[in-house]
Amino acid sequence: MDIIRPSADLRNRYAEISKTCRETRKPVYITVNGRGDTVLLGLAEYEQMRSELELLRMLAESEEDMAQGRVAPVEETFDSIRKSLMARKAE
């Protein structure tokens, strides 16, 4: 079930709303004049969401690379990485 609070609660009961976000790990929807306006998330959930979005972006890019034929054999890729690491280590 969604947690919905009026904007006045954000001003007057911030600590309570913040605690709700952290403890339930759910977003809190803030309304203005009865209409959705803002969504609050706990920091941990926000960072997890950002990480998941970044992973999805990387997967989409990988799929596009595969579709466009921009791929290399795994052995070549790892050999290239090893050479690069060895060159950095030698510096």
Domain-wise residue ranges, the chain = 3-41, 45-90
Distances (CA, A) of 79 to 50, 65, 74, 84, 85: 31, 20, 9, 9, 10
What integer best gives the mean pLDDT of the chain? 95
Here the tokens at position 70 are 């921009």
The hierarchical CATH code for the domain 3-41 is 3.40.1620.10
**Confidence at residue 27, expressed as pLDDT on a 0 to 100 scale:** 97
What's the gap between Cα 41 and its chain centre?
A: 12
Asked whether the beta carbons of 3 and 24 are under 8 A apart, the reply is yes
Asked whether the beta carbons of 30 and 7 are under 8 A apart, the reply is yes
Q: What is the pLDDT of residues 60-88, one digit of tens each?
A: 999 999 999 999 899 999 999 999 999 98
Is the pTM higher than 0.75? The answer reads no
**Confidence at residue 1, expressed as pLDDT on a 0 to 100 scale:** 87
